[in-house]
Amino acid sequence: MTSTEEDPSGDAAFVQLRGISKRFGGTQALDDVTISLVLGEVHAFVGENGAGKSTLGKIVAGLYTHDSGHLLVGGEEVGRWDPLRAQRGGIAMIAQELSLVPELTVEQNVFLGIEHNTLGVMKGDLSARYAELESQAHFGLPPRVKVGTLRIADQQKVEILRALARDAKVIVMDEPTSSLTAHETARLHELILGLKAQGRAVVYVSHFLDAVLEVCDTVSIMRDGRLQRSGPVAAETKKTIVEAMLGKELAFSFPERAPAPDVAATPVLVLDALASDGGVVDASLVVRPGEIVGLLGLVGSGRTEILKAVFGVDRVTGGSLTFRGENIVTSSPRRSIARGMGFVPEDRHKEGLVLARSVRENVSLAFLRHFSTFGVVDGRKERREVTRSVTGLQMRPPAIGLPISGFSGGNQQKALLSKWLIGNPQLVILDEPTRGVDIGAKFTIYEAIIELARQGVAVLLVSSEHEEVLNLSHRAYLVSEFETRGEIDPATTTLDALLYKLFSVLEPKENA
Ligand SMILES: Nc1ncnc2c1ncn2[C@@H]1O[C@H](COP(=O)(O)OP(=O)(O)O)[C@@H](O)[C@H]1O
Ligand SMILES: [Mg+2]
């Protein structure tokens, strides 16, 4: 975005940067940057080191002045701008270089510079005010200890309390989590969401994109001093953000494989020489809890038919199908769902999702009986369960009332996956889960599949993109002519080796 373009959120913005540029000697730190900070929103600045994030924050907070462009606060263009004016204007920054006085106590630092605003605020009042701040932040810092004796993470908390004490409307946090533990980071995120709920704007500068995706509403992506784009986090994935930060497409990558399943656990699904009226001749396989098992074969090899036999779309005509220890003789999709199976079909638009309906309706459609007593739907239970399953898969935004058509392909697919988490299935069958979604959305689907396995669900996966099966599965079976033809180890099988097998060496099974 450039200064000459319209800035859609400009009107609602408390702080507007319009075409801001800043140079340090030979370095163009910022070049024509236009960004709006809206109250009640968490706004991420992301970019590689040196991209200009801190400079941007410092201009807002009055620590640097811009060379050209316009800075508006509360709708008015600022004239002279320095930290004190910024503070009075409702802006606070927690900089990377902390600005505390080591010899003073936590409490003194927190109120430094504001304790004498009204004539002689008494010490008791400060303590009461400190206690009030602490009740918001729950940092558990000792108020009377000298700041110089605290570790960096705790000093950072003092800075945050300072911003709170000044009742800042806009709080810029420049890489606040770089020295925090995971637990402290989680607390900070809660605090940020609390500040947002109070109607403040928080700028969150972070390299941790998972946190950005989780906590922020808006993201501005910087590269070499230029804004690449600024927009809703819901429209981004980790991959799209990284690509914008780097200015190039990433070589396609897969997330880390799901944790290895317990091989001693009782299998969820066992097929033994299964045959079906859908054409399956002889399928034998095992899927354990938390295990992702792939079926690898060429188009027309019978992979989808094996899935259909398992789910009860087709009838079993030979061999055996054992699900959760029970030998299944008669089956139907409805019975399979009741027994604890889920099936995400190949064409989700035709079979899976009703685009005009909300996420909530789409997710709960197959499971309304879970929320019903004598046919009456318990709306509260429905909302609670849908929210639980959707947040489990980190669907963004987790706004289950919105029509599903407004979500990205990856998030639509997540909605479909979350549908099968509601009934707490033991087995989820996925047929071509990434067909028709863009490359960025694929990654989020892979993460969702891995999350299913992590939660202990057994997953049976078919994909024509063999690399997906090789990179996601713990084990995989080769399928040819409607038969399983042995197993491969996906982690050690290359795509070339697989294709060679699929095209040339899949000889029919020897008759035993
Ligand atoms: N005070 C300064 N003096 C000189 N150069 C600076 C100063 N502050 C930042 N820069 C330069 O401006 C560019 C942007 O820096 P910065 O805003 O700190 O990036 P980021 O926070 O995204 O890592 C870098 O090239 C950096 O070296
Ligand atoms: Mg920085």
For residues 413 and 480, the model is more confident at 480
Q: To test the ligand 1 pocket, which listed residue (54, 175, 203, 222) has its Cβ within 8 A of the most ligand atoms? A: 54
Tokens matching residue 397: 């935004």
Same structural domain for residues 286 and 208?
A: no
| Coil vs helix vs strand at 235 | helix
- pLDDT higher than 60, residue 104: yes
- 187 found inside a domain: yes
Q: How many domains does the chain have?
A: 2
- 217 found inside a domain: yes
Label residue 365 by pLDDT band (50, 70, 90).
low
CA angle 182–187–188, rounded 5-degree value: 95
Residue nearest to atom 1 of ligand 1 (CA): 24
Same structural domain for residues 204 and 330?
A: no
Residue-wise pLDDT for 33-86, tens only, equals 999 999 999 999 999 888 999 999 999 999 999 999 999 999 999 989 999 999
- pLDDT higher than 70, residue 363: no
Residues 6+ apart with CB under 8 A from 322: 267, 269, 270, 271, 272, 328
Of 201, 219, 246, which residue constitutes the final position of a domain?
246
Same structural domain for residues 323 and 219?
A: no
Residue nearest to atom 27 of ligand 1 (CA): 50
Which backbone phi and psi does 55 adopt, to 5 degrees? -60, -40
Same structural domain for residues 212 and 283?
A: no
* C-alpha 56 to ligand 1 mean position (Å): 10
Q: Which residues does ligand 1 sit against, CB inside 6 Å?
A: 24, 27, 29, 47, 49-55
> 268, 289 in Cβ contact below 8 A?
yes
- pLDDT higher than 90, residue 14: yes
> 274, 316 in Cβ contact below 8 A?
yes
What average pLDDT does range 385-403 have in this prediction?
65
- 267 found inside a domain: yes
- pLDDT higher than 60, residue 377: no
User: What pLDDT does residue 203 have?
Assistant: 97
Residue-wise pLDDT for 170-221, tens only, equals 999 998 877 677 777 888 888 899 899 999 999 999 888 888 998 999 999 9
Residue-wise pLDDT for 243-252, tens only, equals 898 887 766 6
Of 191, 211, 246, which residue constitutes the final position of a domain?
246
- pLDDT higher than 90, residue 507: no
User: What pLDDT does residue 168 have?
Assistant: 93
Same structural domain for residues 316 and 194?
A: no
Lowest-pLDDT choice from 70-74, 107-111, 159-163, 414-418: 414-418
Q: pTM of the predicted model, to two decimals?
A: 0.56
Same structural domain for residues 164 and 277?
A: no
User: Concatenated DSSP letters for 46-70?
Assistant: E-STTSSHHHHHHHHTTSS--SEEE
Tokens matching residue 402: 């919105």
Same structural domain for residues 290 and 223?
A: no
Helix axes 409-422, 379-392, angle to 10 degrees: 120
- 467 found inside a domain: yes
- pLDDT higher than 70, residue 399: no
Distance between CA atoms of residues 249 and 229, nearest Å: 16
User: What pLDDT does residue 129 have?
Assistant: 86
Tokens matching residue 276: 């079906």
Same structural domain for residues 234 and 272?
A: no
Range of the domain at 197: 13-246
* C-alpha 78 to ligand 1 mean position (Å): 23
Label residue 124 by pLDDT band (50, 70, 90).
low
Distance between CA atoms of residues 55 and 65, nearest Å: 9
- 503 found inside a domain: yes
Residue-wise pLDDT for 280-311, tens only, equals 999 999 999 999 999 999 888 999 999 999 99
* C-alpha 24 to ligand 1 mean position (Å): 8
Distance between CA atoms of residues 491 and 352, nearest Å: 31
Label residue 4 by pLDDT band (50, 70, 90).
very low
- 29 found inside a domain: yes
- 391 found inside a domain: no
Same structural domain for residues 274 and 323?
A: yes
> 206, 44 in Cβ contact below 8 A?
yes
Same structural domain for residues 288 and 241?
A: no
| Coil vs helix vs strand at 163 | helix
Strand 376-377 versus strand 372-373 pairing type? antiparallel
- 428 found inside a domain: no
- pLDDT higher than 60, residue 159: yes
Residues 6+ apart with CB under 8 A from 508: 481, 483
Same structural domain for residues 211 and 186?
A: yes
3-state helix, strand, coil in the chain (%, to 5): 35, 25, 40
Of 246, 280, 308, which residue constitutes the final position of a domain?
246
Q: What is the CATH number of the domain that holds 36?
A: 3.40.50.300
Same structural domain for residues 146 and 218?
A: yes
